[in-house]
Structures are given as structure tokens and as C-alpha cells.
Structure 1
Amino acid sequence: MIERLAWVTTRDARGRDEDEPLALAALERTGVSVDVVDWHDPAVDWSRFDRAALRSTWDYTQRLPEFLTWLDEVDAATELVNPAATVRWNLDKQYLAELAGAGVPVIPTEFVAPGSAATFPAGEFVVKPAVGAGSRDAASYDAEQHALAGEHVARLHASGLVAMVQPFVESVATDGEWPLLFFDGRFSHAAAKRVALPRAGVIDGLFATETNAEHVATPAQVEVARAALDVVSARLGTPAYARVDLVRDATGGFCVLEVELIEPSLFLPYAGTAAAEELATTLVR
């Protein structure tokens, strides 16, 4: 068991992480010493920690070059959870193509690199960056808004980003999303999540406003989420924590919206005390 753990956050996220109080209390009960530190604080000596757990570094996409440099420095100084290689793979949502290639059901996605023109699907659709978090720079459009969507893609390209174009999943408006959480490869709990993307606009804060609730995952949901995690584990090793977000597709089946391995909200307030204890055990094992 480790003795000293860094719980890694960022200044703007202080006091906004619902998981933090529950997780820190559970970690305290293990006897480990925990420091809550900002990833970008130059005064932190990362070698003082046995392990550093990425938790609420929610501004990393806005400071990506700095974050990537920091990632390598910390990975050399201590044990990073999840590891740097896992973080780098998960940074770019082009991993969805890898999951699809392995037979995991995912939302059909077109990746539009800078210099390429986007093709928009019929009906409503979503545009967002391939490197992004918290639904920032994501917006939904209807069939008459291709020009506006094209401007959105152009803005992403001007920033050097690959754009993602996906059909709008109609069930999201009625059913929302289902995040499924895994600790050390074992399914822990699930939640129900609703995020309202702006129409032809973008979110410029740390994250979009969410409405969350408890949810008991069905066997079919766990099966799809575990299939995605199996691909990750085979490629990168089993992550200490993982979140797989599912939606219901047009056929009524479940498909992967995204896999969160960097700094995901873990929905501990909606899972009972056992989940926080399980997370703490995983982080100090």
C-alpha cells in the first residue's frame, strides 16, 4: 500500500467536484496521506508522492501543450493514475474508430481533419472537437444549419483540431446518457446523465450543465461497456478507473458515446458509500 497520494485537480475546479469529498473521506479511512494539488502548480514536488491520481484536471484541453509536457514530467517523477500512455490514447476521440473496428457498437462518427471538408448527415447532427472534454466546443445543428455547422468546423480547424460529426441521437432527449463506472476492471455502478448541448452555439465554461441521477445498469448495458473496456485493457492494460458513457441507438440497442479514462466524474454521490470505498481501495492498492 502507498503512503502518500496526490489528488490532482485544477484551480478553477476547486469546490466543484462532487466526487472529491466522498473520495477523500474514504481515502482518509485507508490511512494514506492525501494532498489536493493543482496540476499546473510549479511549486509541487511530484517526487514526494508515491502516486498521483488525475481527478479534476478539467481545463487540460484548453492548455493541452502545457498539460502534455506536465504529463511526461509527472510520469517520470511518480506513478501516474491512469498512466500517461492511457491518457494520451484517450485524449483523442479517434479511439472510437478503434473500438468500432473491434466490433464495439459506437455512434457513427466522421472525423474531419484540418484541410478536409465536412459532410453533414441528414437531419439533426452534432459537431465537436476530437480532443475535448466537458462538452466544450460542442453544439447541435438541424438540417437547415449546414452553413453554421461549417463555420464551427472551420473554427476547430483554425485551432488545429480534428472535428467530429455525428448524427444526433434522438433518444438522448428522452433517455439521456448512462455512464457506467469500472474500478480496476470491475463494474462498480452506473448513473443517468442529461446534458443539453446548445443549439448552434458552444459551451465556453469548464463543462456543460448536467442533471444526474441514480441508475441501475441493465445486463445489456454492462455487456456493451465491458466490451469497450476489454479493448482498452488489451491495448493499454486495465485502467484503475474507467467510465464508459452509453446511449440508446435508433434500433433500441446500446452504443458507446465515449470512454473516459483521464479525469472523468465518477458519480459517487449517486452510488452509495461502497463505490467511494472501492475507489479508495483501488487508488492505494
Structure 2
Amino acid sequence: MVLCAYVTFDDPDGHDDERETVLEAWRHTGIDGRAERWDDPEADWSAYDAVVVRSAWDYLDRRDEFLAWARRVEGVSRLLNPAVVLESNTDKTYLRDLGVPIVPTHWSSRDLPDHEEYVVKPAISAGARDTTRTADRAEAAARAAALEAAGRTPMVQPYLHMVESEGETSLLYFNRRFSHAVRRSPMLAPGMTGADNVRARPRTPAPDQVELAEKVLAAIPQPLLYARVDLVRLPSGDPALIELELTEPYLYLHQAPGSAARFAAALRELL
């Protein structure tokens, strides 16, 4: 029996509603899965054939500690996704290096381009945390400057109104094979307050979205057990990458029958 750790966090409110689904799917493929907090000092990571990062959703305030943990684990077990992937993917400046269309992004508080509305956020963030939407150019510049003053890299982007009708398209891949896709409601639309209010439903991605998602993944040379490619459409109608989730993405397994089994099969293949 293969023994794998399902890496989570101290989750008293039960936010991770995919854990038992994944562990059951693992059992059906001969994987003994055990939930472990990433910051548990008593965890013996060397006992596992693989350590799979899943809902480590409290790492953001302790990113350096989390990455140091990942490097330690990689010294005694198989970490998925690998530590080098986690380090790059937890800082959104990786978007500059992929060589694919992304949402137009200005990485400074100075010389802001003209947009009808702005979205300002730090490069290290999650779930719309510390994110501002404003139609005031001066406010956008001030918010970006405040991030710089705090030693953080700002991202200044246009607010794309079509996401309120089109939504975001998230394509899920397990061991680089397409599993399923969902349409996600936008986090910054009126009445939305971040990741906890995001709703999703199944979606068949368009051919140009699949083409872009696979080009994005081709830019990552390391093994990838899981990947979520989040796309939006620009005013031109062309798809663009808004984020590549390779660290601890929610996988929307409940929206796609059979997806948990595909996830388990992908893990078996990599092992």
C-alpha cells in the first residue's frame, strides 16, 4: 500500500470540503492517504511515499516558513507539486515569465495607464486579499504606492467588465491531462466579497481556451500533479491568463463527476 500525506491546515470551520472526497478516491486506487497539517512539528514526512499539498490555505502570512517547510519535505519524500514550483507560483510575478497572453498588468505605482476602472493587488496574495477595485486613477496609484512602501510588488490591471457576464474559466489538469473546467463567478463583482462567495458550475472550454491553457502548462518543466489554469477574455475576445494555480488550488471536484478518480489515478502514475 502506498502511503501519501494530504497536506492541509488547521481548519476548524471545515472549509476544505474536498478532503474526504480525495482520500476516498485515493483508497480506491490503493493509496493510504492521511491528512497532515503542513506546520505540525510532530509530522514525520519521511514516512510518506509522497506528500501532496492541498489545502495549506494559511500559508500566506508565513510564506517563507511554508517554502522552508517545502524544501525540508522534499529532502525526505516526494513533494507534489515540487518546492521550486511552489516558490515561483506563490509570487504572481511569474506571470511575466510565461510568454503567454495575460491580463495587461502594470507593476508599479508610477505612470499608470488609463483604464475605466482599476484593480490593484499585491503580487503575493490569494482570494482577492488586499485587492482594490476603483475608477479613481489617483486612488489606484496611491494604493499601489502603499504596497510598494510595505515592500510588496503591486499589480495594476484594468477591471474587465465582461467577467460579470462571461465569468472566469478554470481548466483543471491532473498530471498534465485535462480533467474538467468550470465557470467561476468573479470575486470583485458588485455584492461579492472575495473567494468565499465564488460560485462555480461546469463549463466546456472553447478550443482557444484549451490551446492557451496547454501553452501555459508547457512553460512549466517540472512534474505537476495538479494545475488550475484561470482564464478570462479580453475586450478583443481573446483569452488571457489571469492566474496559474499550482500551489493549493481548490479543484472543484464536486462539480465534475469522476474528477476525484482522475486525480487519484494521476497520483498513482507519478508514483
Instruction: Provide TM-score, normalisation by structure 2.
Output: 0.92
State the percentage of identical aligned residues. Answer: 38
Consecutive unaligned residues of structure 1, counting only runs of 5 or more, are none
Retained in 2: the 8 A contact 1:7–1:54?
Answer: yes
Retained in 1: the 8 A contact 2:160–2:234?
Answer: yes
Q: 1:160 to 1:147 in 2, by over 3 A?
A: same
Secondary structure of the residue aligned to 1:107 is: coil
Offset at 1:224? Answer: 1.1
Q: 1:159 to 1:72 in 2, by over 3 A?
A: farther
Consecutive unaligned residues of structure 2, counting only runs of 5 or more, are none
Q: 1:155 to 1:40 in 2, by over 3 A?
A: farther
CA–CA separation in structure 1 for the residues paired with 2:211 and 2:47: 40
CA-to-aligned-CA distance 1:68-115 (integer Å, 9 cap, x gap): 22111111121100000111121211121112xx3x221111112xxx
Secondary structure of the residue aligned to 1:77 is: coil
CA–CA separation in structure 1 for the residues paired with 2:81 and 2:105: 26
Retained in 2: the 8 A contact 1:18–1:268?
Answer: no
Hey, which bits of structure 1, 4+ residues long, moved more than 3 A?
none
Retained in 2: the 8 A contact 1:3–1:33?
Answer: yes
* 1:86-235 correspondence to structure 2 within 5 Å: 86-99=85-98, 102=99, 104-112=100-108, 117=110, 119-142=112-135, 145-197=136-188, 207-232=195-220
**For residue 29 of structure 2, what is the aligned residue in structure 1?**
30
**For residue 264 of structure 1, what is the aligned residue in structure 2?**
249
CA–CA separation in structure 2 for the residues paired with 1:14 and 1:26: 23
Offset at 1:198? Answer: 7.4
Retained in 1: the 8 A contact 2:174–2:226?
Answer: yes
Secondary structure of the residue aligned to 2:244 is: strand
Offset at 1:155? Answer: 3.5
**For residue 237 of structure 2, what is the aligned residue in structure 1?**
252
Offset at 1:120? Answer: 4.6
**For residue 243 of structure 1, what is the aligned residue in structure 2?**
228
CA-to-aligned-CA distance 1:91-144 (integer Å, 9 cap, x gap): 211121112xx3x221111112xxx636253210111111112221112111xx
Q: What count of residue pairs does the alignment treat as equivalent?
A: 268
1:178 is matched by which residue type in structure 2?
A: T
Offset at 1:5? Answer: 0.5
2:101 is matched by which residue type in structure 1?
A: P
CA–CA separation in structure 2 for the residues paired with 1:222 and 1:10: 32
Offset at 1:280? Answer: 0.7
Retained in 1: the 8 A contact 2:144–2:156?
Answer: no
**For residue 51 of structure 2, what is the aligned residue in structure 1?**
52
Worse-matched range after superposition: 72-81 or 189-198: 189-198
CA RMSD of aligned residues (A): 2.0
